[in-house]
């Protein structure tokens, strides 16, 4: 019965369009549109449309997107929406929320919205409602958090837990790090989180030097429970713990696991009653709302974790139901396509004007680049258009004193996402209006630029040979996202907004956004090279650079 159902689903799936975007009329029309727009200046758009900054805005709950400082108009947006429809965006969105196996190369559904849906919702994966399973684990997480926070669950020597060490990498680390940093004002008193990801022993070592084994809880977070970095760190942490305590007896009280792989968790020596499960329909970089968020819930309290999930759900619903051009994720996806494919800009700067969002660029790098860094389409053919951009960034004003020079006056045009928070989460006077002033000023400067005439009329004493250096080309596109506050709810909205933006772009580019085969080759070669380093030898079958590097390492060892 189940097999018949899978075949039926695959049949529906194969009916989904896998359209080469280049072959659509909308793509051709957009190319013409880009030619027609040429280098029309954003300052001209604003002069011609005095209400542009009010009309090119979409708000949802605690987040507001102003996309007016992009080099496009209503007609362009309509064509972009036409492109999205021609590429089957609406059908793909339905297939996604319908639990179809849209991650075809791994033969999996992609169902992270189920992780944050309300208890009475129904989300089907291969015809089975996954909500009861989701809530079984959420309830397990909630009760675990409360036993830790109330000091009911104690370490093996009877002391309460004070430190949490999450051991994981990629999707089992970046989201949790980003969110716990963002939600610092919500940290539960007496709990200090730590994150270890790098296989470089320095990462684990510096954490182990800070914590006391008796009061530390280790969370080994790995979807597969086979990842080299995580397993190496987990084994070293376990060995350190045993050495500190003088016996293995306490391991069961101090190590828990978050994984989809029960056998591997058990083989590692963690009691599966101390395992928090998630499922293969949750992609690693889409997993912070699953049990991978356990370190978040332990750090900020389950209530705040729930509020984060509620914000994500609010954005899921907005993405699912809002019309294309009133839909924040769709708009950001389409604007990205316009910048990348038609204005030929291949990068995106993420510029959060909030110190607590300092890990957002790193988190979005994995989300976007691991999802859409692809060059083969869903029909298996090479693509002949640009796909995922290079995503990078830094907390706002720090970036201003580092790389903004290039954004303003460099030869590369860089679209930017400015992210601001209206209500500060600190009480210090004299800071926040400056922060916001900088946020607004930078996107305005990028938009306006500064002409030669303006330099000359500025009243500044500028010698003739310096005048060209003081000119800013302007016309550099940006989005501005304003959040009401950096609350768990608003942060949840922001995260889901970007998740769905990536989805939109993947569909239009006709690529598979939910696999990541590009990370495998390097891992395989590391497994080949490791024995050479262990044995201290080189080999004629290796290339000369590899042999040279090995020899230099032996020399300096």
Least distance to ligand F6P from the beta carbon of 112, Å?
13
Q: Which of 21, 88, 171, 506 binds ligand F6P (CB under 6 A)?
A: 171
Site string for ligand F6P, 215-244 (x = CB under 6 A): -------xxx--x--x--------------
DSSP structure class, residue 103: B
d(CA 344, CA 370): 21
Q: Is residue 175 close enough to count as binding ligand F6P by CB under 6 A?
A: no
Q: Given the rule CB under 6 A, which of 105-113, 126-134, 169-177, 242-250 is the region that contacts ligand F6P?
A: 169-177
Residues 6+ apart with CB under 8 A from 295: 164, 166, 176, 180, 193, 195, 219, 221
Q: Given the rule CB under 6 A, which of 115-123, 170-178, 426-434, 464-472 is the region that contacts ligand F6P?
A: 170-178
Where residue 219 falls (left for φ over 0; alpha for ψ -120 to 50; beta otherwise) is beta
Instruction: Please pick, among 370, 394, 413, 499, the residue that the annotation labels catalytic.
Output: 370
Please list every residue from 338 through 397 that binds ligand F6P, using CB under 6 A. Answer: 370
Q: Which of 76, 304, 341, 516 binds ligand F6P (CB under 6 A)?
A: 516
Beta bridge partner(s), residue 221:
258
Q: Which of 88, 170, 293, 336 binds ligand F6P (CB under 6 A)?
A: 170
Q: How many CB atoms lie within 10 A of CB 223?
A: 24
Where residue 99 falls (left for φ over 0; alpha for ψ -120 to 50; beta otherwise) is left
d(CA 483, CA 424): 11
Residues 6+ apart with CB under 8 A from 380: none
Least distance to ligand F6P from the beta carbon of 277, Å?
13
Least distance to ligand F6P from the beta carbon of 56, Å?
35
Least distance to ligand F6P from the beta carbon of 270, Å?
15
Nearer to ligand F6P, 255 or 489 (CB): 255
Least distance to ligand F6P from the beta carbon of 222, Å?
3
Helices (H), 16-62: 25-37, 42-48, 52-55
CA trace torsion 484, 488, 489, 495 (10° rounding): 90
Q: Both tokens of residue 508?
A: 């239009």
Q: How many CB atoms lie within 10 A of CB 323?
A: 9
Least distance to ligand F6P from the beta carbon of 285, Å?
5
Letter string b/e over residues 271-291, b meaning 16 or more CB atoms within 10 A of that residue's CB: eeebbbbbbbbbbbbbbbbbb
Beta bridge partner(s), residue 58:
65
Least distance to ligand F6P from the beta carbon of 509, Å?
19
Instruction: Please pick, among 2, 401, 461, 557, the residue that the annotation labels catalytic.
Output: 401
Q: Which of 9, 145, 169, 494 binds ligand F6P (CB under 6 A)?
A: 169
Instruction: Please pick, among 25, 344, 426, 523, the residue that the annotation labels catalytic.
Output: 523
CA 555 to chain centre: 41
Nearer to ligand F6P, 109 or 414 (CB): 109
Nearer to ligand F6P, 287 or 478 (CB): 287
Least distance to ligand F6P from the beta carbon of 284, Å?
3
Is the four-CA dihedral 243, 248, 250, 255 of positive or negative sign? positive
Q: Which of 70, 172, 290, 416 binds ligand F6P (CB under 6 A)?
A: 172
Q: Could you tell me the CA-to-CA distances from 498 to 283, 404, 483 in Å, in that order? A: 15, 23, 14
Reply yes or no on whether 401 is catalytic.
Answer: yes
Residues 6+ apart with CB under 8 A from 123: 97, 99, 111, 113, 114, 117, 129, 130, 131
Q: Given the rule CB under 6 A, which of 46-54, 127-135, 166-174, 415-423 is the region that contacts ligand F6P?
A: 166-174
Nearer to ligand F6P, 224 or 485 (CB): 224
Nearer to ligand F6P, 63 or 369 (CB): 369
Site string for ligand F6P, 284-303 (x = CB under 6 A): xx------------------
Active site residues: 370, 401, 523
Which residues of this protein are in contact with ligand F6P, per CB under 6 A?
169-172, 222-224, 227, 230, 284-285, 370, 516, 519
């Amino acid at each position: 019965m189940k097999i018949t159902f899978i075949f039926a689903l695959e049949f529906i799936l194969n009916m989904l369009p896998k359209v080469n975007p280049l072959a659509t009329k909308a793509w051709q029309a957009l190319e013409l549109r880009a030619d027609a727009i040429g280098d029309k200046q954003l300052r001209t758009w604003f002069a011609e449309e005095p209400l542009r900054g009010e009309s090119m805005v979409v708000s949802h709950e605690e987040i507001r997107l102003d996309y007016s400082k992009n080099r496009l108009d209503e007609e362009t947006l309509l064509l972009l929406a036409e492109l999205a429809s021609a590429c089957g965006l609406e059908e793909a969105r339905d297939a996604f929320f319908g639990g179809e196996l849209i991650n075809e190369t791994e033969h999996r559904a992609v169902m992270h919205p189920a992780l944050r849906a309300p208890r009475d919702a129904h989300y089907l994966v291969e015809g089975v409602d996954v909500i009861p399973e989701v809530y079984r684990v959420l309830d397990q997480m909630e009760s675990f958090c409360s036993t830790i926070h109330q000091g009911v669950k104690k370490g093996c020597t009877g002391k309460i837990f004070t430190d949490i060490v999450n051991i994981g990498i990629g999707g089992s680390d970046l989201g949790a790090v980003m969110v716990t940093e963002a939600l610092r004002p919500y940290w539960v008193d007496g709990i200090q989180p730590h994150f270890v990801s790098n296989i470089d022993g320095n990462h684990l070592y510096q954490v182990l030097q800070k914590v006391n084994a008796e009061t530390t809880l280790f969370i080994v977070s790995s979807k597969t429970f086979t990842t080299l970095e995580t397993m190496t760190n987990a084994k070293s942490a376990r060995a350190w713990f045993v050495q500190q305590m003088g016996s293995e007896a306490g391991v069961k009280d101090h190590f828990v696991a978050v994984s989809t792989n029960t056998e591997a968790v058990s083989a590692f020596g963690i009691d599966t009653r101390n395992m928090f499960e998630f499922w293969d329909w949750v992609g690693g970089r889409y997993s912070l709302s699953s049990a991978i968020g356990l370190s978040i819930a332990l750090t900020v309290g389950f209530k705040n974790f729930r509020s984060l999930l509620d914000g994500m759900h609010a954005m899921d619903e907005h993405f699912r139901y809002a019309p294309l051009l009133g839909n924040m994720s769709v708009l950001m996806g389409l604007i990205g396509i316009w910048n990348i494919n038609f204005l030929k800009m291949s990068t995106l700067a993420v510029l959060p004007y909030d110190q607590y969002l300092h890990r957002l660029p790193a988190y979005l790098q994995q989300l976007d680049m691991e999802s859409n860094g692809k060059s083969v389409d869903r029909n298996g053919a090479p693509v002949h258009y640009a796909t995922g951009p290079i995503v990078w960034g830094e907390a706002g004003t720090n970036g201003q004193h580092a790389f903004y020079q290039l954004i303003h006056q460099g030869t590369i045009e860089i679209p930017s996402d400015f992210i601001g928070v209206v209500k500060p989460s600190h009480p210090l006077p004299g800071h926040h209006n400056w922060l916001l002033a900088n946020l607004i000023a930078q996107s305005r400067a990028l938009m306006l630029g500064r002409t030669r005439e303006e330099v000359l009329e500025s009243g500044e004493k500028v010698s003739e040979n310096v005048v060209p250096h003081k000119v800013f080309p302007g016309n550099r596109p940006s989005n501005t996202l304003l959040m009401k506050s950096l609350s768990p709810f608003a942060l949840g909205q922001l995260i889901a907004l970007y998740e769905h933006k990536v989805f939109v772009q993947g569909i239009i580019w006709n690529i598979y956004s939910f696999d990541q085969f590009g990370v495998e080759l390097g891992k395989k070669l590391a497994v080949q090279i490791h024995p050479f380093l262990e044995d201290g030898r080189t080999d004629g079958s290796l290339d000369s650079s590899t042999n040279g590097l090995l020899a230099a390492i032996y020399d300096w060892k």
